[in-house]
Chains A and B, each alone.
Chain A
Amino acid sequence: MRRFSWVNLLLLLAVLLLAVAPLAFGLGSGEEPFSGADALAEQAIVDDHPDYQPWFSPIYEPPSAELESAFFALQAALGAGLLGYYFGVARTRQRQRDAAGRQRG
């Protein structure tokens, strides 16, 4: 494998390691380990300011945690799908350019 591919692979491995290490070492804490920081901030507000009333509530809320994670998965899939499509197109164009260059060249 060339250096370019090696570096890319190492980058991916490093990202995986950073994500998996906290799980592997069991760093989760509290009632619900690895709950979202956004939710923790909301909880901190509720704890310290019991008299604060949220004055606006979401227009639509996914009815269950399962559906919420489905929406998050949809968001990630759409993003990753479009990104993958881009690289497919870009790679094909690059190859065609290379082939045209060789013919002329």
Chain B
Amino acid sequence: MHIAEGYLPPEQAAAWFVVSAPFVVHGSRALVRQVRADPESKLLLGAAGAFTFALSALKIPSVTGSSSHPTGTGLGAVLFRPPVMSVLGGIVLLFQALLLAHGGLSTLGANVFSMAIVGPWVAFGSYTMVRRAGGGMDPAVFAAAALGSLATYGVTVAQLALAFPDPTAGIVGALAKFGGIFAVTQIPLAISEGLLTVLVVRLLSRTSGDELRRLGLLRPAAEVRA
């Protein structure tokens, strides 16, 4: 989902910065509030950041014969809500742009929008919907991580299609082309990401029940619905 450095026309790159900036500003405030209100959650916050840091470094082979990487933003979105992830995800993308030449500074706004904003919001929405529908913690977390990951790549496809319409088939053709590169590749990865996130949340519920309860998780499904 990393759009390479310089691979968005300047006006579009700038536009994505304008779109993403308010989310990141709001997210930084939410992050500061979270740490002030509950200093003990700092370590768990670090763990959520570490999860997306580690997962987004892992390129995993997929059924399409290419490889891609998970995003790892679903965990933090479920634990700490999406605004916080706009900052943590942004830090990961900045690290990769500066040291790995992966993604880029000019495309940071666009990449933050897909991985650190839309992904976490879709994850949080999916989690909430499954819980309200009476689903348990594990299915809800799986849906959050997997759908958040797919949404991130869907946004990248749309961003690239807008910037580089197909010479003959236009934006629709470009959607199909970039979709072909990213979407099917990402399906098994999204499943893996969902399973890994479920694993981490299961371990958290064993070791950090108090923290999770303070964050409003671990309530029985019936209570969430009420």
- A contact residues vs B (CB 8 Å cutoff): 4, 7-8, 11-12, 14-15, 18-19, 21-23, 27-30, 33-38, 40-42, 44-45, 48-49, 52, 54-62, 68, 71-73, 75-76, 78-83, 86-87, 89-91, 93-94
CB of A41 within 8 A of CB of B61, answer no
Bound complex: CA A44 to CA B190 (Å) = 23
| Interface SS of A by simple majority | helix
- Contacting residue for B61 out of A19, A61, A86, A94, CB 8 A: A19
- B contact residues vs A (CB 8 Å cutoff): 1-7, 9-10, 43-44, 46-47, 49-68, 95-102, 104-106, 156, 160, 164, 166-167, 177-178, 181-182, 185-186, 188-189, 191-192, 195-196, 198-200, 202-204, 206-208, 211
Chain B residues, Cβ within 8 Å of A76: 53-54, 57-58
User: What is the minimal beta-carbon distance from A6 to any residue of chain B, in angstroms?
Assistant: 11
CB of A71 within 8 A of CB of B99, answer yes
User: What is the minimal beta-carbon distance from A66 to any residue of chain B, in angstroms?
Assistant: 13
CB of A34 within 8 A of CB of B104, answer no
Bound complex: CA A19 to CA B200 (Å) = 18
Bound complex: CA A21 to CA B142 (Å) = 21
B56, closest chain A residue (CB): A75
Chain B residues, Cβ within 8 Å of A12: 199
Bound complex: CA A55 to CA B95 (Å) = 21
Given contacts A71-B100, A86-B43, contact A23 B61 (CB under 8 A): yes
Chain B residues, Cβ within 8 Å of A75: 53-54, 56-57, 95-96, 100
Given contacts A18-B192, A27-B63, A49-B167, contact A82 B5 (CB under 8 A): no
